[in-house]
Chain A
Amino acid sequence: MNEIIEEIIIEEGSEIIRVENLRRHFKVGDETVKALRGVSFTIRKGEFVTIMGTSGSGKSTLLNILGCLDTPTSGEYILDGLSVQSMSRNRRAVTRNRKIGFVFQNYNLLPKTTALENVELPLLYNPEVTAKERRERAVKALEAVGLQERIYHKSNQMSGGQQQRVAIARALVNDPVIILADEATGNLDTRTSFSILTLFQELHDRGSTIIFVTHNPELADYSSRNIVLRDGKIITDTINPSPLSAKEAFEALPKDTD
């Protein structure tokens, strides 16, 4: 059994994320809250990992650290060969810009701004990308999420599902080594959730590495690996050799009967 797992991992490719004995403590008044108490795992290229846990389990803290928004109190975090915990604030910003794509629960699109401009945004903070290239890449990312018809629609003229697709396109546009989704389907109805999940699976099939943080246990069935946190510790870390197809689930759902 162990051999089989190892083989799968080797097949799936090189190491993207390695965390070792990650700890994160917060000082709240006189008390020290231990949000993470020694978390270790490795994520390789091409994995679709769901991280689960109830609120207070430390999954948000873990996501913040994985997203280079926060640094651990102790332990090591290697992202794509770079040691993150020794980085300065600015260096982490640049790392986020080049290596990470974020998808948030509430989309966080700029208001009164077109889909195209929203998707171009991360590239605006990358001086190496020319205006022409920026546009081309943004259009390509929007095509990848199926919004080629809506590139000039403003964010407030779109449905929640469409807005989340724009947000996913924005996460793709910088060609990140990892996409971090924080409850990305949390604000959506079941149908739209499954269509977004289908999109994630498609991206995964095309080679993207995805970490999907959620408290919804159903979603574990659609990912290739599931990590469960409780009280700042990993309690299970299981490989799912045959994930369900979100597309099939989507099609099985009753159409708008209302």
Chain B
Amino acid sequence: MNLINLLKIAFKALSNNKLRCFLTMLGIIIGVASVITMLAIGQGSKNSIRDQISEMGSNMIMIFPGNMQRGGVRQSSDNMETLKVEDYKALSTVPGVAAVSPSVQSSGQLVNGNNNYPSSVYGINSDYLDIRKLKVKDGSMFTDHDVKAAAKVCILGKTVVDNLFPDGTDPVGRVIRFGKIPMTVIGVLESKGTNSMGMDQDDIVLAPYTTVMKRILAIDHIQGIFASAVNEDDTEATISRITEVLRSNHKITEGSENDFQIRSQQELSEMMNSTSDMMTILLACIAGISLLVGGIGIMNIMYVSVTERTREIGLRMAIGARGIDILSQFLIEAVIISVTGGIVGIILGCLATWLVTAIAQWPVDIRMYSVGVSFLVCTITGIFFGWYPARKASNLDPIEAIRYE
């Protein structure tokens, strides 16, 4: 008995019962389509969370001065002056650190002619753009020379530009005032929109940290350090190395508290990922259950089919079908139902996913693996649930089967 003959027999048997065959398939179709759609929605929301986090810089490490007691009084970390320019310089040589920038910040009123706008000026160096994933759209970033010279230059975010130059003039080359200090605009940042917390990421003014420290704030400590790890997975190790360097620089003895704190996006990203993972698992469970129900549907129909076709089975055996031939025939019928249902389900699932994006505008992502897995699962379902009825058929006694009424 070769495979072609078997397929022929199975197809013939199925085509004699088209409606029933289709209804059985429907269970698998709905199961597979829902698995694909659910996983696509789950994966899509996971992707959008990941994108939002990496927009902020997923490998970003932030170092702030820590709480500390001074003479028994706990101080707010804002007042702490524990981070120095030397710390930032020391960190640039720590292995695993891709970029590092000091940070000082001053809020105040920006003025350009008749227009004014309250914003914050961030004193940083040119690495900051890499760390925060910012880009200069027009003009250029300030140079190391500008940093050394504490040049009175700045780069504006889009929101600031819109407020200071509402008539649409090109801000590059114009001089604006921050408080009393005139600053030349040398660049405009590419717009990033709001972040996942709803903060406007374009409401920002960048200037050399030396300018902000010396000319605006007149301080000799820095308020924070931004660094980025070479890659996301390395963040944890890099943080511990940074901690070590800072502790030794600050001469902190063993067992004493750090006088700084380090934060990364890692925890945030893990938390959000686990939330969306849970959602994906939940959706996949629901979809999996419907696939199981579809499988039971196959078993049910195959079972009825075996009883109904007892005489046919008896005849096939009488004219020379072996047990294995009967088993294969029924198994192949089950697999044809489930695989055809699977293919239709995959097409329908893709269609449904497309509709979800088109109508509800949800982010979706169909992964090849989800298609592969659901196809595999429905094939296995066919074999698994087809097996028992097929076995029953192949074990029939031909003498009794052929006289079955």
Contacts and interface: CB of A to CB of B under 8 A. Distances in A.
Interface of A: 64, 67, 69-70, 89-90, 93-94, 96-98, 102, 104, 108, 110-113, 117, 121-122, 124-127, 131, 170, 174
B11 to A, nearest CB: 12
Contacts of A94: 320, 322
B312 interface: yes
Contact of A93 (B2, B16, B314, B321): B321
Contacts of A111: 16
Given A113-B12, A127-B5, A89 B319 contact: no
Contact of A110 (B1, B312, B402): B312
Given A69-B399, A117-B12, A127 B319 contact: no
21 contacts: A64-B399, A69-B399, A70-B399, A89-B323, A93-B320, A93-B322, A93-B325, A94-B322, A96-B318, A96-B320, A97-B319, A110-B312, A113-B12, A121-B319, A124-B1, A125-B1, A125-B5, A125-B319, A126-B320, A127-B1, A174-B320
B367 interface: no
Contacts of B12: 113, 117
B16 A122 contact: no
Contacts of A90: 322-324
Contacts of B315: 104, 108, 110
A97 B399 contact: no
Nearest to B325: A125
A125 B402 contact: no
B323 A98 contact: no
A170 B320 CA distance: 12
B320 A125 contact: yes
Contacts of A69: 317-318, 398-399
B12 to A, nearest CB: 7
Interface in B279-336: 311-312, 314-325
Given A127-B2, A127-B5, A102 B318 contact: yes
B380 interface: no
Interface of B: 1-2, 4-5, 8-9, 12, 16, 311-312, 314-325, 398-399, 402
Contacts of B319: 96-97, 102, 121-122, 125, 170, 174
A32 B9 CA distance: 40
Contacts of A70: 399
Nearest to A101: B319
Contacts of B317: 69, 93
A124 B402 contact: no
A118 to B, nearest CB: 10
Nearest to B315: A108
A126 B318 CA distance: 13
Given A124-B5, A124-B9, A127-B5, A112 B16 contact: yes
A108 B312 CA distance: 7
Contacts of B320: 93-94, 96-98, 122, 125-126, 174
Nearest to A94: B320
A174 B315 CA distance: 15
B351 to A, nearest CB: 33
Nearest to A127: B2
Nearest to A105: B403
A94 B320 CA distance: 5
A127 B5 CA distance: 8
Nearest to B5: A124
Contacts of B398: 69
B116 to A, nearest CB: 87
A122 B1 CA distance: 11
A90 B402 CA distance: 18
A217 to B, nearest CB: 23
User: Which residue, of B16, B315, B317, has the highest number of chain A Cβ atoms within 10 A?
Assistant: B315
Nearest to B324: A90
A67 B403 CA distance: 15
B323 A108 contact: no
A127 B312 CA distance: 20
A55 B133 CA distance: 94
Contacts of A124: 1, 5, 8-9
Nearest to B15: A112
B401 to A, nearest CB: 10
A163 B247 CA distance: 98
A108 B1 contact: no
Contacts of A108: 311-312, 314-315, 318, 402
